[in-house]
Amino acid sequence: MTSPAMAARFSGARRRRRVVNAAACGLLSAAVVVALIPLVAVLSYVVGRGTEALSIEFLTHSMKGVGPLDDAGGAYHAILGTLEQVAIAAVLAVPLGLAVAVYIVEYGGGRFAYAVRFLVDVMTGLPSIVAGLFIFAFWVLALDKGFSGLAAGLSLAVLMLPVVVRTSEEMLRLVPHELREAGYALGVPRWRTTISVVLPTASAGITTGVMLAVARVTGETAPLLLTAFGYDAIRRSPFEGPQSGLPLYVFSQAGSAFDVAVRRAWAGALTLIVIVLVLTVTARLLAGRSRLPNS
C-alpha cells in the first residue's frame, strides 16, 4: 500500500504542517509581546520623566500667578477638581446605572428591556468628546449655566452610566436563581429580595465594576475641555465658574511650547496614571474576593 515514495511524501507533508504550526504559534506569541511593548514604554517614560518633575510643591500648589517660563506651580487645583468632578459623576451614574441593571435583569425580558440593553451597549461606544459637546449644548448653552465642575461631572456621568449598567448587569446575572427563590418562598416581597439578597450577593462584583468605571472617567480629558473649561487657581466649589481637572491640566501643559510646562505635564501624567492604575488594580483584587461563582 504505502510505497517508500508515498511515505516520504506523507512525512514531508507532516513536517510542513508541523513547521506551519510552529510558525503560527510563534506569531501569536509574538503578537502578545508586540502588544505589551507600548505598555512598558508608556509606563517607563511616564514614571521616569514624571518622578524627575514630581515634587511636594507640585502636589500642593496651583498655577495661580505662575508665568510661562517659571519652573513653579503645580496641579493641586486640578487634582481637587478631578476628585470633585468624578465624585459628582459617580453619585449620579452609580444609583441610576444600578437601577437600570436591576430592571434589565430582574424585570426585563420584553422588547423594552431588549431595547434598553441594546442602547446601553451602543452608548458604551459614545465618543467622550460627544458627551462633552452634549453637556456643553444642553447645560452650558441651552440652560445657560456656564462652565463648571458640575457640568464636567454631568458629562462624566453620561460616560460612566453605560459602563456601570453593563458590569452590574453581568454581576446580577451571576446571582443563583435559588437565592431569589428562597426569598420568595419565605414570603419576602420581590423588591426586598432584590435589595437584601440579590444586590448584596453581587456587591463585590458591582464594586469592581464601579471602580473600573471611575478609573475610566478619571482619565477623560475631552469632555472636561468643553464643560469645566480649565482654570489656573484653586476653585473649591464645583458649582460656580470654570474649574481645572488633572487630565485637562496635563493636556494644556503638554500643548505648551515651554520645557517647564512639559515637565509639569509629565508630573501630572504620573499623578494621573497612579490614581487610575491604583483604582484599576484594586478593583481587580476586589473581584478576586467575589462571593459569586466564576466571576
Residues between 63 and 122 that touch other proteins (CB under 8 A): 96, 99-100, 102-110, 112-113, 115-116, 118-122
Q: Whose Cβ is closer to other proteins: residue 91's or residue 277's?
A: 277
What is the per-residue DSSP string for the chain?
Answer: ---HHHHHHHHHHHHHHHHHHHHHHHHHHHHHHHHHHHHHHHHHHHHHHHHHH--HHHHH---TT--TT-S---SHHHHHHHHHHHHHHHHHHHHHHHHHHHIIIII--SHHHHHHHHHHHHHHT--HHHHHHHHIIIIIIIS---S-HHHHHHHHHHHHHHHHHHHHHHHHHHS-HHHHHHHHHTT--HHHHIIIIIHHHTHHHHHHHHHHHHHHHHT--HHHHHHTB--SS----TTSS-B--HHHHHHHHHTSSSHHHHHHHHHHHHHHHHHHHHHHHHHHHHHHT-SSTT-
Q: Whose Cβ is closer to other proteins: residue 180's or residue 235's?
A: 180
Only one of the segments 4-12, 51-59, 62-70, 173-181 lies at the binding site for other proteins (rule: CB under 8 A); that segment is: 173-181
Count of residues near other proteins by CB under 8 A: 99
Per-position x/- string for 207-226, each x denoting binding to other proteins as judged by CB under 8 A, each - no binding: --------xx-xxxxx--xx
Q: Among candidates 128, 102, 131, which has minimal Cα distance to 202? A: 102
Min separation Cβ 34 and other proteins, Å: 5
* Bridge partners of residue 229, in order along the sequence: 243
Min separation Cβ 6 and other proteins, Å: 17
Task: Rule CB under 8 A: choose which of 73, 247, 261, 264 binds other proteins.
Answer: 247
Q: Does 10 bind other proteins (CB under 8 A)?
A: no
Q: Whose Cβ is closer to other proteins: residue 7's or residue 118's?
A: 118
Which residues ranging from 113 to 172 are in contact with other proteins (CB under 8 A)? 113, 115-116, 118-123, 125-131, 133-134, 136-138, 141-142, 158, 161, 165
Which residues ranging from 19 to 58 are in contact with other proteins (CB under 8 A)? 20-21, 24-25, 27-32, 34-36, 38-39, 41-43, 45-46
Q: Does 190 bind other proteins (CB under 8 A)?
A: yes
Min separation Cβ 44 and other proteins, Å: 10
Min separation Cβ 274 and other proteins, Å: 11
Min separation Cβ 209 and other proteins, Å: 13
Q: Whose Cβ is closer to other proteins: residue 8's or residue 42's?
A: 42
Min separation Cβ 284 and other proteins, Å: 6
Cell readout for 108 is 426585563
Q: Does 231 bind other proteins (CB under 8 A)?
A: no
Q: Among candidates 219, 220, 224, 227, which has minimal Cα distance to 135? A: 227
Only one of the segments 52-60, 70-78, 181-189, 202-210 lies at the binding site for other proteins (rule: CB under 8 A); that segment is: 181-189
Min separation Cβ 113 and other proteins, Å: 6
Min separation Cβ 92 and other proteins, Å: 11
26 CB-near residues (< 8 Å, 6+ apart): none
Q: How far apart are CA 109 and CA 23, in angstroms?
A: 47
